[in-house]
Amino acid sequence: MAGEKQTIEIELNTDHLTFMNMMKDNYDIRTESKVMRIIMDYLQENEDVHDIVFGERRCLRCG
């Protein structure tokens, strides 16, 4: 485990958990926490996608 880690509580919908578990299984990642760290590392390293990811308001459940 590289680097110091902190535990936080986040709320996710069932489809988020399904997606995380699918990525974990498809890519043989040990934990859901590691999946989230991979996502965060990608976003930190790729500032050019910030507007794409965060600039648009989206909700898959709002209709």
Query: Distances in Å between the alpha carbon of 58 and those of 28, 41, 54?
Result: 29, 22, 9
Residue 23 lies in a domain: yes
Share of the chain above pLDDT 70, in %: 97
Number of domains in the chain: 1
The answer to whether 35 and 24 are in contact (CB under 8 A) is: yes
Residue 46 lies in a domain: yes
pLDDT given for residue 61 in this prediction: 76
Q: Output the six-digit token pair for 13.
A: 């919908």
Please say whether the dihedral angle defined by the alpha carbons of residues 48, 35, 4 and 1, taken in this order, is positive or negative. negative
Residue 3 lies in a domain: no
Query: Distances in Å between the alpha carbon of 53 and those of 2, 44, 47?
Result: 26, 12, 10
Which of 58 and 44 is assigned the larger pLDDT? Answer: 44
Range of the domain at 37: 14-54
Quick check: pTM over 0.85? no
